[in-house]
Amino acid sequence: MPLGIALLGSTGSIGTQTLDILGRMPDRFRLVSIAARNRTDLLTRQVEQFQPEIVVARSGFTLDNRSVLPTPEGLIEAVSHPDVDIVVAATSGHDAIPAIIAAIEAGKIIAIANKEPIVCAGELIIPLARKHGAEIRPVDSEHSAIWQALRSGKNSEIHRLILTSSGGPFRNFDRAALQEVTVEQALKHPSWNMGKKLTIDSSSLMNKGLEVIEAHWLFDVPYDDIQVVIQPTSIIHSMVEFVDGSTIAQLSPPDMRLPIQYALTWPDRVPGPCAKLDFTTLRTLEFDLPDLDRFPALRLAYEAGRKGQTYPTVLSAVDEIAVEAFARGELSWIGIANLIETVLEKHDPRPVSSVETILHTDRWARETARSILPDLA
């Protein structure tokens, strides 16, 4: 029987590429549940094509002759359905955290693509997954690369994890040029085709900072043993250096369908739609260190991760507010990191003891960011 899939965030970049994989492998997978908050016209077409049993969407969305569950409440039912084997978590924000916890408790496999659940609730999710013996399979290209490389060694043999970054479109900009960055410039990623939020985060290296926090929780590696390097061609997706001096890297053209497919078909590797590398045209692989003065978002992420407690939740929540304000023209690109740092300095941290603590912190961070925003505009 094909494996049953619950897809949370079907209309985003990861969601649409996941459906591309499912559509190519009907003998291996069938879509049981689908959820989306935006682009309901696209959601309608997806439902028509894949005929899932459960549809979850924002309030007011309707389908002919189909019941639609509201989001976020319906997400728990979507992931808990008895026919679901794998939950692909590709939503944005924190709405999916309760659903991911419910899926773990129900014994589902979690293919995690969105960063917020692990960044904000890793302290809850990872121990819970261990308790229930639930698999968490990373979908982010960097974490998938590490996961693949770790098939060559044990976690106890890791010397360090090396997360690669393209450096974004501004890696060669000086301070003066960064002061004048426009939204249009920030949305031109040199390697990847991603959504607006992720693309802007990549331009500031905040995306890489969130990945550092994720890697800490997913692979149980201290922050001091997680390094970020710039690799502009996005061919090496990340590396693991082992204690004996060996470094294992995962290389491929930048195509998110590869890590999505690997998370779904693991431990098998099967033919797919992704292009293969042509090593005869691959002349050089450049590496550089990120400049934390020009890209302070990465520094802030390391600091928030090391402090722990609810600091990563504040980092993630305020980043959303800052990116939205930048995209609307209400905040400069430089102001994104400034707003995050200002709110982090005001935060009174709490232990991450429950989902309610995370959601309360999230609300506080967003309200505080919005109150400060006019002063930074």
> Shortest CA distance to 311 belongs to which of 339, 281, 345?
345
* Strand ranges inside the chain, DSSP E: 3-8, 29-35, 54-57, 69-70, 86-89, 109-112, 136-138, 158-165, 226-230, 236-242, 247-251
Give the global pTM.
0.94
The predicted structure's pLDDT at residue 57: 94
The predicted structure's pLDDT at residue 284: 84
Residue 43 and residue 36: Cα distance in Å, rounded? 7
Residue 150 and residue 157: Cα distance in Å, rounded? 10
What value does the mean pLDDT of the chain take? Answer: 94
pLDDT digits (tens, 9 = 90+) for 281-300: 887 889 999 999 999 999 99
pLDDT digits (tens, 9 = 90+) for 137-179: 999 999 999 999 999 999 999 999 999 999 989 999 999 999 9
Fold of 144-376: Rna Polymerase Sigma Factor; Chain: A (1.10.1740)
Mean pLDDT of 11-29: 96
Residue 279 and residue 297: Cα distance in Å, rounded? 34
CATH architecture of the domain formed by 3-114: 3-Layer(aba) Sandwich (3.40)
Based on C-alpha coordinates, what's the Rg of the chain?
A: 20
92 pLDDT exceeds 90? no
> Shortest CA distance to 68 belongs to which of 90, 84, 44, 92?
44
pLDDT digits (tens, 9 = 90+) for 189-246: 766 667 788 899 999 999 999 999 999 999 999 999 999 999 998 899 999 999 999 9
Q: Residues spanned by CATH 3.40.50.720 within the chain?
A: 3-114
